[in-house]
Structure 1
Amino acid sequence: MTKGNLAIVLHAHLPYVRSEEPGSLEEDWFFQALVECYLPLLETLEEASTAKDQTPKITIGLSPTLLSLLEDQVLKNRFEEWVSIRLELLNKLETNCTAAALDLKGHLKRQLKSWKSCKGDLIGRFKKLQTLEIIDILTCAATHGYLPLLRENPEAVRAQLKTAVREHQRLFTNAPLGIWLPECAYYEGLDDLMSESGLRYAVLDGHGLLNADPRPRYGLYAPICTRRGVAFFGRDSESTLPVWSARDGYPGNPNYREFHRDLGWDLSIENLKKIGIKEKRPLGIKLFKISSQNTSLEDKQEYDPQAAKESVEKDAESYLKDRKKQLIKLEKSMKIEPLLIAPFDAELFGHWWFEGPKFLSHLFIKAKREGVKLITLKDALQLTPQIQLCNPSPSSWGQGGFHNYWLDKSNAWIVHEWSKAGREMVSICSGGLIEESNIKIIKQAGRELLLSQSSDWSFILKAETTTELARERINLHLKRFWILINAIKDNKNITEKIIDEIEKEDCIFPLISPIDWKKKI
Structure 2
Amino acid sequence: MAAGDLALVLHAHLPYVRSSEPGSLEEDWYFQALLESYLPLLEVLEASAADRAQAPRLSLGLSPTLLSLLSAPDLRERFTPWLKRRLELLKRAPAQHHGAASALAAQLERSVRQWRACKGDLLPRFRRLQRQGVLDLLTCAATHGYLPLLRHTPEAVRAQLLNAVREHERLLGVPPQGIWLPECAYYEGLDQLLASCGLRYAVLDAHGLLHGLPRPRYGVYAPICSPGGVAFFARDGDSTLPVWSASSGYPGDGAYREFHRDLGWDLSDAVLAEQGITSRRPLGLKLHRVTAQGCPLDQKQPYDPAAAQAKAADHAARYLAGRAEQLAGLRQAMERPPVLVAPFDAELFGHWWYEGPSFLAELFRQAPAAGVGLVTLRQVLERSSDLQLCRPSPSSWGQGGYHHYWLNESNAWVVPEWHRASGAMVSRVNRGVRNVREQELLAQAGRELLLAQSSDWSFILRAGTTTELARTRIQRHLDRFWRLLDAIERGVDPPAQWLKAVKAEDSLFPLLSGADWASH
- With the shorter chain as reference, the TM-score category is over 0.9
| Residue identity in the other structure for 2:321 | K
User: Matches of 1:460 and 1:132 in 2, distance apart?
Assistant: 37
Distance 1:512 1:93, change over 3 A: same
Task: Give 1:341 deviation, angstroms.
Answer: 0.2
CA separation in 2, counterparts of 1:371 and 1:257?
30
- CA spacing shift, 1:434–1:143, aligned 2, 3 Å: farther
State the 1:496 CA deviation: 3.8
Alignment of 1:288-303 (within 5 A): 288-303=288-303
> Cα offset for 1:93?
2.7
Q: Do structure 1's residue 186 and structure 2's residue 206 form an aligned pair?
A: no
Between 105-114 and 199-208, the greater mean CA deviation after superposition: 105-114
Q: Distance in 1 between matches of 2:162 and 2:460?
A: 26
Contact 1:96 1:102 in 2 (8 A): no
1:499 is paired with a residue whose SS is helix
Alignment of 1:510-521 (within 5 A): 510-520=510-520
Residue 116 of structure 1 and its aligned partner are, at CA, apart by 1.1
Q: CA deviation at 1:227?
A: 2.1
Which residue is 2:197 aligned to? 197
Q: State the partner residue of 1:505.
A: 505
- Which letter does structure 2 place at the counterpart of 1:504? A
User: Is the contact between residue 428 and residue 434 of structure 1 (CA under 8 Å) also seen in structure 2?
Assistant: no
Between the aligned partners of 1:446 and 1:23, the Cα distance in structure 2 is 27
- The question of 1:113 aligning with 2:86 is answered no
Letter in 1 for 2:339: L
Aligned equivalents of 2:497, 2:236: Cα separation in 1: 52
Determine if the alignment matches structure 1 residue 385 to structure 2 residue 385.
Answer: yes
**Aligned partners of 1:357, 1:121: CA distance in 2, in Å?**
20
Q: Distance in 2 between matches of 1:288 and 1:359?
A: 19
- Residue 40 of structure 1 is matched in structure 2 by 40
Consecutive unaligned residues in structure 2, runs of 5 or more? none
Point out where structure 1 has 5 or more consecutive residues left out of the alignment. none
Q: Which residue of 2 aligns with 1:315?
A: 315
Identity of aligned residues (%): 58
Q: Does 1:336 align with 2:345?
A: no
The residue that corresponds to 1:454 in the other structure is 454
Task: Name the aligned partner's letter for residue 89 of structure 1.
Answer: L
Aligned to 1:61: 61
SS at match of 1:332: helix
Check the 8 A contact 1:90/1:105 in 2, yes or no: yes
**Where does residue 144 of structure 1 map in the other structure?**
144
SS of structure 2 residue aligned to 1:171: helix
User: 1:368 is aligned with what amino acid?
Assistant: P
Per-residue deviation at 1:513? Answer: 1.7
Residues 5-54 of structure 1 deviation map (CA, whole Å, 9 limit, x = unaligned): 10000000000000121211011101000010000000000000100111
| Aligned-partner Cα distance in 1 for 2:478–2:439 | 19
Q: State the SS of the aligned residue for 1:437.
A: helix
For 1:425 and 1:435, the matched residues in 2 are separated by 17
* Counterpart position of 2:406: 406
Aligned 8 A contact 1:70 1:122 in 2: yes
Deviation track 1:87-111 (CA, whole Å, cap 9, x = no partner) reads: 0111233428721111111111111
Could you report, residue by residue, the CA deviation over 1:335-386 in whole angstroms, capped at 9, with x for unpaired residues? Answer: 0110100000000000000000000000000001000000000000011120
Aligned to 1:92, what secondary structure does the other structure show? coil
Instruction: Report if the CA contact (8 A) 1:184-1:205 is conserved.
Output: yes
2:474 corresponding residue in structure 1: 474
TM-score, normalising length from structure 2? 0.99
Q: What does residue range 215-226 of structure 1 map to in structure 2 within 5 Å?
A: 215-226=215-226
Deviating more after overlay: 18-27 vs 86-95? 86-95
2:176–2:199 CA contact under 8 A, matched in 1: yes
> Residue in 2 aligned with 1:417?
417
1:435-450 to structure 2, matched below 5 A, reads 435-450=435-450
Q: Show the counterpart of 1:254.
A: 254
* Separation in 2, partners of 1:98, 1:8: 35
Q: Which amino acid is the alignment partner of residue 133 of structure 2?
A: E
Find the counterpart in structure 1 of residue 286 from structure 2: 286
8 Å CA contact 2:12, 2:61 repeated in 1: yes
User: What CA distance in whole angstroms lies between the structure 1 residues aligned with 2:402 and 2:344?
Assistant: 18
TM-score, length-scaled by structure 1: 0.98
